[in-house]
Amino acid sequence: MDLLTQPVSVSHYLVVGAVLFVCGVVCMATKRNALGVLMGIELVLNGANLNFVAFGSRILRSDSLGMDGQLMALFVIVLAAAEAAVALAIALNFYNNHASIDVDHADDLKG
């Protein structure tokens, strides 16, 4: 593994971001309760943020300020905070109605 012997570069950040993304997707697909799914969504967003910052680095693009990735990550963090607030409110309301947050019980919400 040549990647392990090199100094830390953009490719290392991209590998960590990809691992976070894949862990989030697996978590979303396998968890049965709503909080586990929300944690998977947060992992996916954090993996995407890490890749945005790595792609926006000055190493790859020397002609810009290098803040493009950080600005994209900031927008994703704001979006994730709003999503978490709304999703937790929905989860609390669902728990009050059903005494469980198991996503298999959500089929009674169909109109």
Q: Each residue of 12-48: pLDDT tens digit?
A: 888 999 999 999 999 999 988 878 888 899 999 999 9
End-to-end Cα separation, the chain, in angstroms:
54
Task: Tell me if the pTM is above 0.85.
Answer: no
Cβ pair 27, 43 in contact under 8 A: yes
Mean pLDDT (whole number) for 73-99: 86
Both tokens of residue 31?
């968890």
Looking at residue 69, what is its pLDDT?
77
Domain boundaries, the chain: 2-109
CA distance 82 to 70: 19
Write the pLDDT tens digit of every residue in 62-82. Answer: 666 667 778 888 888 898 889
Output the pLDDT for position 66.
62
**How much is the pLDDT for 30?**
92
The closest of 46, 32, 29 to 83, measured between CA atoms, is 46
Q: pLDDT confidence of 3, banded at 50, 70, 90? A: low
Q: What confidence score (pLDDT) does residue 24 get? A: 94
CATH class of 2-109: mainly alpha
Q: Are 49 and 75 a contacting pair, CB within 8 Å? A: no
Nearest to 58 by CA among 48, 70, 73: 70
